Amino acid sequence: MFLKIKNINNNLRIEDIVRLFTFDTPIYRFKEDNNTIMIMYDRLSHIGICLELNGASLIDPLEIELIEILEPVVIKNRRKKEGRCVCFISNNKISIDELEALTSSIIFYVYKFIGGKHFFIVEFEKDFNISKFTSFYDIFLFDEYLEALIGSGKV
């Protein structure tokens, strides 16, 4: 499942939120709101945060607010190969096949959320330039590249 959370009082940096979760938990950040992130989440045990089993609230001493829980449906699943992974929502501006043709990359997961948007998890080469596709994505993956992106001033 996915947790969409927001830093209520803007007193916690994104990298601080990331450190609350295990290193293998992908972190996504919404372009339109720098204080809102989405976490792909398969466990209820982590440091400093306790999610109630009914999904009603997020108990957190660091004032992080749970906005919603998203339950995606996998509509396409391909085997993952080695490489850099980038996630984004297409905003319905590009199809799965068009994206694969443009990037020469393999999309190995596609989730569909309410409203019809598609959430792509895409395999890219490590040196692939994602910036030319900025009009296509709403959410960008912050995983092992988080510190490099923060250090470069891009986030």
Domain boundaries, the chain: 2-70, 73-152
The model's pLDDT over 27-46, given as tens digits with 9 standing for 90+, comes to 555 545 555 655 554 443 33
- Other CB atoms within a 10 A radius of the CB of residue 13 amount to 12
Q: Is the pLDDT score of 11 beyond 50?
A: yes
What pTM does this model have? 0.28
- Other CB atoms within a 10 A radius of the CB of residue 145 amount to 17
- pLDDT for 142 equals 34
- The mean of the pLDDT values for the chain is 47
User: Among residues of the chain, what percentage have pLDDT more than 90?
Assistant: 0
Mean pLDDT for the stretch of residues 8-32: 52
CA atoms of 89 and 97, how far apart (whole Å): 14
User: Among residues of the chain, what percentage have pLDDT more than 70?
Assistant: 0
Q: Is the pLDDT score of 67 beyond 50?
A: no
- pLDDT for 15 equals 56
| Contact present, 15 and 148 (Cβ < 8 Å) | no
